[in-house]
Structure 1
């Protein structure tokens, strides 16, 4: 609201030099006040163009909306006209504006044109709260209404051009502070009036400890962003910034990956809030660089997850996507999962033996993590074998790579299926076989050594045959007799099947007593629990 001219007093005296001092004072009181300046059409047109530019760059890319708070109803109409006048030129498309204010029967025609009934206002607010893809109503223009008690998370920015103080000021700020999905990193208040001069005064009537910090200036957010940037960049100090293998190795330990992920999200979140006006090319390049590392790390350590930047805002997302695509990264930074036809060629395309071995190790671990609930005994055994290989080849990457390749070929790709085929079991039956066999071979840990020695003759073929018998009959009963639709979610149905499983195992008590002795009932209960846990995975529905 700067006045054009070197001195308002000089301009005033020149314009009214023929008036008396009393007449000059009367003119000042009536016309030379702040509201008159605020409502000046030339000023409103300039502010409206600035609003459209800010909205286009900061708010619209993420799909959020805006509220404009004016000093008077007359100013509301002037803003409405100015926004529509420049909308297409600045935004590039025709977005909608609506005015909501209280009307009077004595209003001039240009005000009556924007009168709305309560029902019409409800429809306007309903449309405003929709996504920008569903409704192009992006600007609400108000004087007093909708500053308090109005809940619209999709509103991210409030353009203030009227005086607000104390409760009204803080409640207006709160309007843009409502969370709305991952894309809304902050709310913005753009002050054209000088309202923020009253912020400290507004805060003085509240307990600051309870209130917290209602608003940050863009300058202080910029300083925070620099701090977040330093935190994430510091993790790679001393590492060649062009060596992706070395960079990824820095965050190989799980605690380091968590630390990196937290630092990364804070950094890109702050950049998202500041873009585009406060973010230099250097900072944008750092966002691209750490995002590249993050993408490579996800492939290395969590290959079952696709590259996902949905947790970034649209402005940062566009920056990252463009960079990854232009650098040809999408071609190879895709999840490398163990059973792909080209797994070996993808792995071998990485730069070093260490990188290849590391990728193989994490690909194996991810398969085990995904499948361990389906066959806990078998995959726990595989994990123990993997750990032994890793321990024995700790400092020899070439040997580790060779051993892991052999492990994948022998144990991972064919192991479970070949063992099931060898026993003439389906993979589902094999999972239960392994569980039953483990319990049988555990026997009764509390029995004497003499009893244990007597039981040794049963551990071998007898164990295998009984485990096969139980797992096959269990599978047949579940599919043909016991299954009840929805049993895993319904406690009553679950109990019915649990009772059937228990009675089925009790029917095998004579045989089981050879393994468990006097502790047979407790062991049957243990076996029932293990089998029910597996059944919830394998027989949730008959198609699974």
Structure 2
């Protein structure tokens, strides 16, 4: 409102430097034209831009590329209420001063041309990578910052993810002097403006390329990338990765070498770059044309597509978003805003993504630090040193110790570190781990899941620098976390799915060759009402796991029954709650009694910390008093569900009729007033009448509910139901009617 009061009816000109960005922004504004109360327009040519702005007195939102402005002695408009908004302001909007060329002519920069065209306009620039150089200074062109939304704030808001850095330059065995030489030459290129100086630097760089593109170096590079990808990144999120090559020639060499090492990766690895008439024979089929590149971009963003690794040189390093992309292998010197924009490809938000990882093979660490000079103080503090060895690995070790000492204390899982451990033993160890965590109360279980999840995220970024034992320990803890979490989650339980997830996890860490069966004591194909399965549950060694498994299965079954039989489902729900309340109390009592017992023992013997003897006590497999009885109660409940269904069949009632029978007999003393045959007949007639009288959505309308209540009351009054002593009985029947109708609609 303040802007409107001051500016009245301003004209907005939105300028970009690329056609695709112009189209994108125009489309976004056009979709909200009703909110803007005017229809945006897009300049189609220089002439059209002149027509739009020349002589306009008010209003208008116009989109154009900067190339449509041209030198002129006459401004397009001298109005003061024009606001020029420039996107990607760091890229091309420079040249406020004229430059005298060698031939004596004067070259005018684009910033000066635009300002001569609209001399009294206000200029606002948007950029994610501001530049401060002698001949290119974003603030000189657009003025001081109006507002700063820095990387720290973006990460805190959840708009982006942090980026981490892994140095693998030493794996190539390149001479450090060579890398410094390359870095120096690229810095010279960034600072030079004279064409002959640039040409000289590029000539020197071509000599360096012969080393970087040599067969031996490319072979070492690709072997290391393949090893790192397979062991650390392929199984992470969707496995998407970029390889940034030094140039097109080296990009093709990398592609060919990777396929030589992994011939089955033809669908997995693709080259994304433009072609040239001078390309060697055979390149065209690999590179393709514009439509092919569009298809590759679409496929790379598809998380389920087999295309996982893109080899690029310049393409996709700016303006390309694939949220699941989490890994970038860099074999190309980059500096300044170009480097920052490139690595930002891996900072997009995606489910379970802790951050993006930049793997350096060319020595960009110094360039990264230098690039941060143009950012805020807190960004420099938080992101100027993103090395995983200093930022992530210490966090990983901390959380690993927390999980080991706070949650797995007293559990012997040392066999997990053996190379020759059998798969059955490994499965049992994971199952024991899940059972061990279930001994804790809900609060401690949540704490374990939180700490182990943080461990998992840290491990996803620094796994390549962890020891073998650390990897195995972290993977074991993650397998336990999956087992605990999946059983606790709502939804239908799939033991096969749980085992599949754990098997995939261990495939990349503990190197299992066989099939992992977390629930090795159970048959995978089971029914809650199968006596064989119930006996297997009763015989499980892991009693806490048995309780949680039965709890989940019964809870899901009750939820299913609630849609058809409200009375029985509520009855079983109350029973389940009582049993589980007893179990939770036993957990708390057991923890207290254990601590008290150990404390008394230590005081009597004059020993040290209580915790030292906890392992001796817990290793014996002692369980809370009554745990077997609790499992027995849960199994009895499952059998009672079977019996309830069987009773319905014995009476000759359908499933629908049985649910009404249960509603009618909700009060235990109801049978004192009616013969069972009468109640059966009532249930049948009630079901039949409701089917005849029901209308769509009757239960959601007051008139519909009133009509159906009348139908039910009239029918039940024939049988003098309910007795005067049974207050609330009619409401139960009506509630069952509503549930019955909801189920028929669904």
TM-score in same-fold range (> 0.5): yes
Question: Matched residues in 2 for 1:149 and 1:266: separation?
Answer: 31
1:476 Cα offset (Å): 1.8
Question: Matched residues in 2 for 1:313 and 1:401: separation?
Answer: 29
Aligned to 2:402: 231
Aligned to 1:453: none
**1:175 lines up with 2:345 in the alignment:** yes
Question: Matched residues in 1 for 2:331 and 2:628: separation?
Answer: 70
1:88 Cα offset (Å): 1.7
* Aligned 8 A contact 1:389 1:400 in 2: no
Aligned to 1:434: 662
**1:68 lines up with 2:296 in the alignment:** no
Question: Matched residues in 2 for 1:403 and 1:6: separation?
Answer: 73
**1:504 lines up with 2:711 in the alignment:** yes
Question: Matched residues in 1 for 2:302 and 2:582: separation?
Answer: 59
Task: Give structure 1 stretches of 5+ with no counterpart.
Answer: 10-25, 443-455
Residue 329 of structure 2 aligns to a residue in which SS?
strand
Aligned to 1:415: 644
Question: Matched residues in 1 for 2:731 and 2:535: separation?
Answer: 48
* Aligned 8 A contact 1:101 1:142 in 2: no
Aligned to 1:13: none
Question: Matched residues in 2 for 1:402 and 1:291: separation?
Answer: 25
Range 203-212 or range 114-123, more displaced: 203-212
- Residue pairs, 1:178-257, within 5 angstroms: 178-179=348-349, 186-207=355-376, 216-219=386-389, 220-241=391-412, 248=435, 250-252=437-439, 253-257=441-445
* Aligned 8 A contact 1:301 1:363 in 2: no
Q: In structure 2, do the counterparts of structure 1 residues 324 and 248 end up closer, same or farther at CA, with 3 Å as the change threshold? A: farther
**1:473 lines up with 2:672 in the alignment:** no
Question: Matched residues in 1 for 2:551 and 2:327: separation?
Answer: 48
1:304 Cα offset (Å): 5.6
1:80 Cα offset (Å): 0.8
Matched positions, count: 490
- TM-score, length-normalised on structure 2? 0.53
1:280 Cα offset (Å): 1.6
Residue 413 of structure 1 aligns to a residue in which SS?
helix
- Name the one with the larger helix percent: 1
Question: Matched residues in 1 for 2:578 and 2:478: separation?
Answer: 34
Aligned to 2:572: 382
- Pairing partner for 2:742 from 500, 519, 536: 536
Q: In structure 2, do the counterparts of structure 1 residues 168 and 432 end up closer, same or farther at CA, with 3 Å as the change threshold? A: farther
Q: In structure 2, do the counterparts of structure 1 residues 80 and 500 end up closer, same or farther at CA, with 3 Å as the change threshold? A: farther
1:314 Cα offset (Å): 8.8
Question: Matched residues in 1 for 2:372 and 2:252: separation?
Answer: 32
Question: Matched residues in 2 for 1:499 and 1:238: separation?
Answer: 62
Aligned to 2:273: 100
1:284 Cα offset (Å): 0.9
**1:37 lines up with 2:211 in the alignment:** no
Deviation by residue 1:243-290 (Cα, 9 ceiling, x = unmatched): 966962542433333333333333334334444553523431452366
1:159 Cα offset (Å): 2.5
Deviation by residue 1:374-410 (Cα, 9 ceiling, x = unmatched): 3232233334445666788967538826962883486
- TM-score, length-normalised on structure 1? 0.69
Question: Matched residues in 2 for 1:334 and 1:379: separation?
Answer: 27
Question: Matched residues in 2 for 1:92 and 1:110: separation?
Answer: 24
Deviation by residue 1:465-515 (Cα, 9 ceiling, x = unmatched): 886565433422454x3567xx5xxx6896596565234235358579985
Aligned to 1:278: 466
Range 237-246 or range 198-207, more displaced: 237-246
Aligned to 2:294: 122
- Pairing partner for 1:306 from 494, 497, 501: 494
Aligned to 1:331: 520
Q: In structure 2, do the counterparts of structure 1 residues 364 and 100 end up closer, same or farther at CA, with 3 Å as the change threshold? A: closer
* Aligned 8 A contact 2:449 2:481 in 1: no
- Residue pairs, 1:329-368, within 5 angstroms: 329=518, 331-332=520-521, 338-351=528-541, 364=554, 367-368=557-558
Question: Matched residues in 2 for 1:92 and 1:198: separation?
Answer: 36
